[in-house]
């Protein structure tokens, strides 16, 4: 974790795993930019803007990651079935990359 992050959590569900990053209120992820690039071995995500969540500001994944932004919470979801269940439960839409 870096500076302004209040906490992180990992959840394992029957539909897949997800990670969550939390900012102290009233901070939000509104100015947090995510860029997805297809790499030979998977996907490369780079992050810019504020807050600066990870020191490396990049994440390499074998599978696509979906990002859900809900105020001071950012969810990283790796499974489409879980994403479909979370969107209505959290009343959010996936971030456009």
pLDDT tens per residue across span 11-51: 988 888 899 988 888 888 888 899 999 988 899 999 988 87
Q: Delimit the domains of the chain by residue range.
A: 7-90
pLDDT band for 2, please (50, 70, 90 cuts). very low
- Residues 97, 95: Cα–Cα separation, whole Å: 6
Q: What is the pLDDT at residue 3?
A: 52
Higher pLDDT pick, 1 / 34: 34
- Residues 36, 95: Cα–Cα separation, whole Å: 11
Give the list of residues 6+ apart from residue 3 with CB closer than 8 angstroms, or none: 51, 52
pTM for this structure? 0.82
User: Helix, strand, or coil here: 27?
Assistant: coil
């Amino acid at each position: 974790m870096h500076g302004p992050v209040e906490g992180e959590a990992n959840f394992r569900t029957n539909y897949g795993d997800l990670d969550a990053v939390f900012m102290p209120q009233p901070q939000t992820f509104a100015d947090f930019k995510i860029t997805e690039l297809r790499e030979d071995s998977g996907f490369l995500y780079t992050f810019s803007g504020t807050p600066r969540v990870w020191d490396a500001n990049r994440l390499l994944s074998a599978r696509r990651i979906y990002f859900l932004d809900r105020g001071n919470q950012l969810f990283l979801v790796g499974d489409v079935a879980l994403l479909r269940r979370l969107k209505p439960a959290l009343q959010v839409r996936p971030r456009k990359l």
